[in-house]
Structure 1
Amino acid sequence: MKIQILAFLAFLSVSNFSMAMTGPEAKTTKEVMNKALGSFVNLQPFIHDPNKFYDKKHDEYINVQLQNIIDVFKSGSHNAKLNAPGFKPSFETISSYLIATKEAFNSPHKGFAHNRLQALSGLCMSCHTQLDSQNSSRFSVSLKAVRRDSFQSDFEYAEFLFLLRDFTSSARYYERVLAEVKAIDLKKKMATPINFETYKKALQRLVTINIKISYKPEQALAYIDKYASDRLLPPLVRDDFTSWKAQIKDLQKVYTPWNVSNAEELLRFEKKYLNGLDEEGLGSGAEDMKLLAMSGVLTKFLNFRPNSKEAPHALYWLGIAEERLHFNFFYSLGELYLKECVERYPKHPYAKKCFKKYEEIIVSGFSGSAGTDIPSDEQKELSRLKSLISQ
């Protein structure tokens, strides 16, 4: 793929299920989850402090933590939950990604390894927003050693809490980021460099928590009303916030909290809310809030109904949603959802739709002013997928 996509810690999300399980399998899942998360926690000081990361006296310790995580993901390859349609796309690339990160760390290219570790936080969010806060338990890792002062900023700490699915605490720290900027005197703002990219991301996370994870549009609007009107916001950022507000208000008129629990309800949901999505609106961002809300519904459906005969419908729309939302929100798992649709359900009518969309994404990704130049490995993959639906 043109971008190696994964959702780090997808395996850890299995803890959401293990709490409802009993016997040896539940114990094993929970123990393995805590081992991986523990190593990830141990890497935090090095992810956020480049000086520590590049200091050779820490090499052995960092290598051990990386290897622990690699081993955990290898051991989870046969886990039934991880082979479900909702998790498998993000899980399948984890081992190779982490191995490459470890290899880079032990080469002259430590900077590449550091960039990868920093990216893991954003990558895993695509997976950790799949289950709502009411149906999930926070990871049972002790946070005593990972306090606010372990991070350089409120935003970094909020991101870490988000990864642990502690959405209540992460929201509090995201709002601190926004409130701090809002409280600055206007004249000082004009003279003080402000990271509006971080400001936008903080508000994005609050919107995500209240649209995708727990559908509370009124709370999302309250955040936007409070923090989206700063006079010094760059015009494009302000325009995004204005668009989000309008879209959420439109959502409130037609959407209610959904519980798509079976194939029949999924097809009704698709017919009512998805089939009429405007193609031009998808490209412009005019449907982002609808896609965000919809993706929350569909990932929950796949997680709790992984063997549904109509799962390809959910995978298709998740592919579309993820491909669009990664521009503003997280890293895209769109290609992987579409591939999973074709590979797992080649005889389903939607497999052809999934392949067509996947092909469009690949061709577009390798097209430019000089024409289209698709690498041979991507061409072979397209041919392989096409052969599956042609049999």
Structure 2
Amino acid sequence: MRSGLVLLSVCALLLSGFRIKSGEKDYEDFKPHMRAVYSSLLTIFPLTLNTKSFTSKDNTKAIQENLNLIAQHAKEINTLAAKDEKGHAYLSLQLERNARQAALKYKDGFHDQAHFFVEELYDTCLSCHTSRSSSGDSAFTMDLSKNLDMEAMGTFGKAKFLALSRQFDRALDEYERILKSRELSLEELLHFDPLVDYLVLSVRVQGNADRPLKTFNELLKRPLPGPVKHDLESWQKSLKQVKNRPKKMNDLEFARTLIKDVNRDRTGLVNYIFASKYLKDHLKKVNISANDKAETYYQLGICELSIGESLMSGESGMYLEESIRLAPKSPFAKRAYELYEESVTLGYTGSAGINLPPDEKARLDELKKLVF
């Protein structure tokens, strides 16, 4: 079931939210690849709604051919997106890698692994759609959603699909309906952590502190588990304190004030989400200095590490790496390297110890030489 939503999410990414910064000509070059992906998705969508359909020999040819096409055009999309800002370029690279792996694993008969990489596509698309402070509905996804069984997507499937299709107000409505209902179990609340997704949509995408504040006020009137109540009270306090950016400050300067002396844990989440919004806005500006750009990436890396949600996995490392490469002798470069090294090492640490792949070790060595 989920793979169907995943593939739709790819389509939503390509047809509604993606814009190449370098110009209209590049966007025109991009359109044929979007259309090709759209065509493939429409062909295999009915076959990806459940595991039996996805693994049936009767459907193998159609699924494989279309996964190959998606991978092929995702590669072209990545080539074009490399011209965009680093965060978007990184997500397009992840899109290509996951599409390629989904096609390869399906070809080799590893259907569970193919499902995994298709789900990774979903996370990449959702990251892209919630990483920017812009909104706007997609006529395509709105029309397509009329034919979807939203209730079959799981507790938060509808809310996430609405976010993917850039119907942000409707997505927030759905999150609020679920959070305020008596249907949500404690297990779902803790496992899926929908409050973080809700905050990202409200604060970063829409820049709205009043909406979640109203929701949290209502939720706090109920009996709640201690950790959930503590989070809501901390976020409520932060939402009340966050002010609009003073005119005398640019976005980078204001972001610094938002996260200065703020804990890198859930109590500081609102500040880090707001700061990431202003930092991403700062990167859209032209003619900012290399040092300012490097610091913006550094601060973004800290923000994403602090937000700590699965939607942003990997993005923090990309920001920290870019910061180091832009200004390896800056005052913040050493700290950027330390954070990058820590996040990479933890990612490859298991019961057998640290097992860094050769390419990751080479990258760490290269960055270390730049900084020290």
Tell me which of 219, 236, 240 is aligned to 2:227: 236
Deviations 1:9-63 (A, max 9, x none): 89738955469954x4332334433543564566655555223222232222322
Q: 2:200 corresponds to which residue?
A: 208
Q: Does residue 293 in structure 1 map to residue 274 in structure 2?
A: yes
1:331 to 313, 325, 337: 313
Which deviations, in whole Å up to 9, do the C-alpha atoms of 1:137-177 show, x marking residues without a partner? 44452543433425514621221121122112222322332
2:90 maps to which residue? 89
Structure 1 gap segments, 5+ residues each: 1-6
C-alpha distance in structure 2 between counterparts of 1:355 and 1:10, whole Å: 35
Partners in 1 of 2:151 and 2:62 — Cα distance? 19
Residue 81 of structure 1 and its aligned partner are, at CA, apart by: 6.2
| Pair 1:202–1:15, CA change in 2 (3 A) | closer
1:384 partnered with 2:372: no
What is the CA–CA distance in structure 1 between the aligned matches of 2:314 and 2:231, rounded to whole Å? 19
1:268 maps to what in 2? 253
Alignment of 1:115 onto 2:99? no
Partner of 1:357: 339
Give the conservation status (yes or no) of the 8 Å contact 2:323–2:333: yes
* Aligned residue pairs, count: 361
Alignment correspondent of 2:293: 311
Q: Aligned partners of 1:9 and 1:386: how far apart in 2?
A: 39
Matches within 5 A, 1:114-193: 114-133=115-134, 136-147=135-146, 148-149=148-149, 152=152, 153=154, 155-179=156-180, 181-182=181-182
Residues 367-378 of structure 1 correspond to what in structure 2 (within 5 A)?
Answer: 374-378=356-360
Q: Distance in 2 between matches of 1:306 and 1:100?
A: 38
Using the TM superposition, give the Cα deviation of residue 289 of structure 1 relative to its aligned residue in structure 2, in angstroms. 0.8
> Aligned pair in 2 of structure 1 residues 241, 271: CA closer, same or farther (>3 Å)?
closer
User: 1: CA distance between counterparts of 2:204 and 2:269?
Assistant: 11
What are the Cα deviations for residues 334-369 of structure 1, in whole angstroms up to 9, with x where unaligned?
Answer: 111112223354465544432232112233445578
Tell which has more relative contact order, 1 or 2 (C-alpha 8 A, sep 6+). 1
Contact 1:121 1:160 in 2 (8 A): no
Contact 2:130 2:163 in 1 (8 A): no
How do 1:72-87 residues align onto structure 2 when only pairs under 5 Å count?
A: 72-79=73-80, 82-87=83-88
1:379, 1:305 → 2: CA distance?
Answer: 34
TM-score between the two structures when normalised by the length of structure 1: 0.77
| SS across alignment from 1:173 | helix
In percent, how many aligned pairs have the same letter?
A: 22
User: Over the residues paired in the alignment, what is the CA RMSD in angstroms?
Assistant: 3.7
Q: State yes or no: 1:342 paired with 2:333.
A: no
CA contact 2:74–2:99 (8 Å) conserved in 1: no
Q: Amino acid of the residue matched to residue 275 of structure 2?
A: M
Whether 1:250 and 2:232 are equivalent positions in the alignment is no
Distance change (3 Å), C-alpha of 1:207 and 1:258: farther
Q: Secondary structure at the match of 1:215?
A: coil
Contact preservation (8 Å) 2:320, 2:336: yes
Q: Displacement of 1:312 after TM fit?
A: 1.0
Matches within 5 A, 1:46-57: 48-57=49-58
1:170–1:82 CA distance, 2 compared to 1 (3 A): farther
**C-alpha contact (below 8 Å) 2:255/2:278 kept by paired residues:** no
Kindly tell me: are residues 343 and 57 of structure 1, through their superposed partners in 2, closer, same or farther at Cα, counting changes over 3 Å?
A: farther
1:12 aligned to 11, 14, 37, which one?
14
Unaligned runs of 5+ in 2: 1-8
- SS class of match (1:79): helix
Cα separation, partners in 2 of 1:16 and 1:379, compared to 1, 3 Å: closer
> Does the 8 Å contact 1:85/1:303 carry over to 2?
no
> 2:219: which partner in 1?
227
Residue pair 1:138, 1:165 contacting (<8 A) in 2 also: yes
How far apart are the structure 2 equivalents of 1:375 and 1:172? 43
Amino acid at match of 1:358: Y
